[in-house]
Structure 1
């Protein structure tokens, strides 16, 4: 069974078949070797013990493999998840963005919480963390097979939506701005600003981010709580 369940079973069956053949050959001998009933029982006991032992070993081995696979999956999730918000982290986002640039069209939203420094200065960093978690929980509802949400850093987040046009991406960003502005935090409305763009055939990671960041800067400059875009 060291060679696996299927091969182990096959080799064991062959071994028992060979033993049975040898016993049969002896029985056909003109002067057969006398085998006592006790010896027969001993052979049967050894065979049963062999099967039980290696079945137990096989079951234990596969259980260990399953446990190891689960731990590896957990380590992978932790390595690509932002601890505070539960969204993907920047490393995971960078890999996703690089991969999509090679194969897909997508919309890109760079989102920033308005007046976040004021929240930290007024209520403390723990309350600032709560604001981050609130915004992240709204973004999680967008997560799907075609949408990746991540914490970019500080109070900034990124949403990548695969297979969308610029107009569709703007609509999604506008909906996010509206939803978050309906949330009260310390008796004030939370608000976010968004910079939107889509990828081009000659883009790299830096050019996509620069266009979205430029649009986000305009959104901040033009009053916050709004969406601006660069094609």
Structure 2
């Protein structure tokens, strides 16, 4: 197609240059038509150039926008990942703080706050039809003499050893916590009073055989235990009081023994 146009253009130029057509009435019209055609072609070429340049600019601009969009997406993704890590760190920190607030810093056992939360949960389960739980209050016999003779630092080490010995004998969801000083408490879910007394007796017997290293020697200590069974409908604090009364009775009767709450038997 292009060669036909070029051939026609060359033929017109030859006709216009031929002397024999000088003065011919159509020569002037042909020359004007040829000039106009070339001017139009020049305009078309300029328009095409401008159009091509505009499209190139549009493509470049579109590419630039896409690049900026991609960079922005990468920034947003990075911020989102940082935010996710930060939230995960905050969750871990909150969990660690919660765990720390429920742990005794000396023995690592749960503390009194955790005992109260757990008793509320166990009481709610009993109210919903679950089996009642038992509570055992434990006191280390003659612990004051350990502090007086060997010092409080040695007494702390003894408490840690006793805590580990008690916790190691429990299983499942049974809980051992430090109640305060040399006192510990056990929460025994879905446990009868007799089963709780048997467990307490086993703990008492076992602890008597555990040597506690102190001042380059071994020390053997005993425990007194009071056991009570939660009675459905009562406040869990009442069960704690009954276990504490049983513990007091065990100490009054000579220590190194397990006593159960008389009211729970009735």
Q: Residue deviations 1:149-174, cap 9 Å, x none?
A: 11111100000011111111112111
Q: Residues 52-67 of structure 1 correspond to what in structure 2 (within 5 A)?
A: 52-67=74-89
Q: Which residue of 2 aligns with 1:151?
A: 178
**Counterpart in the other structure of 2:115:** 93
- Could you say which residue in structure 1 is the equivalent of 2:104? 82
Measure how far apart 1:223 and its partner are. 2.3
Does 1:222 pair with 2:243?
Answer: no
User: What is the CA-CA distance between 1:62 and the residue it aligns to?
Assistant: 0.3
TM-score by length of 1: 0.80
> In the aligned structure 2, how far is the partner of 1:61 from the partner of 1:188?
54
Q: CA deviation at 1:35?
A: 4.8
Task: Out of 89-98 and 108-117, give the one that drifted further.
Answer: 89-98
CA contact (8 A) 1:142 1:149 kept: no
1:179 has 2:206 as partner? yes
5+ residue gaps, structure 2 = 1-50, 127-131
2:91 and 2:218 map into 1 onto residues whose CA distance is 47
| Residues in 1 aligned to 2:201 and 2:96: alpha-carbon distance in whole angstroms | 34
Which structure 1 residue ranges, 4+ long, deviate > 6 Å from structure 2? Answer: none
Helix, strand or coil at the partner of 1:45 = helix
CA distances 1:6-39 after superposition (whole Å, capped 9, x unpaired): xxxxxxxxxxxxxxxxxxxxxxxxx997353422
Match status 1:140 vs 2:162: no
**Once the 2 structures are TM-superposed, how far is the Cα of residue 199 of structure 1 from its aligned partner?**
0.3
Q: Higher helix fraction: Structure 1 or Structure 2? A: 2
Partners of 1:182 and 1:96 lie apart in 2 by 30
1:103-138 CA distances to partner (integer Å, 9 max, x unpaired)?
A: 231111100001101111111111111111011112
Q: CA RMSD in A?
A: 1.9
Task: Please state how far the C-alpha of 1:145 moved relative to its aligned partner.
Answer: 5.0
CA contact (8 A) 1:191 1:225 kept: yes
CA contact 1:112–1:192 (8 Å) conserved in 2: yes
After TM superposition, the structure 1 = structure 2 runs for residues 161-176 of structure 1, keeping only pairs within 5 Å, are: 161-176=188-203
Alignment-derived partner of residue 244 in structure 2: 213
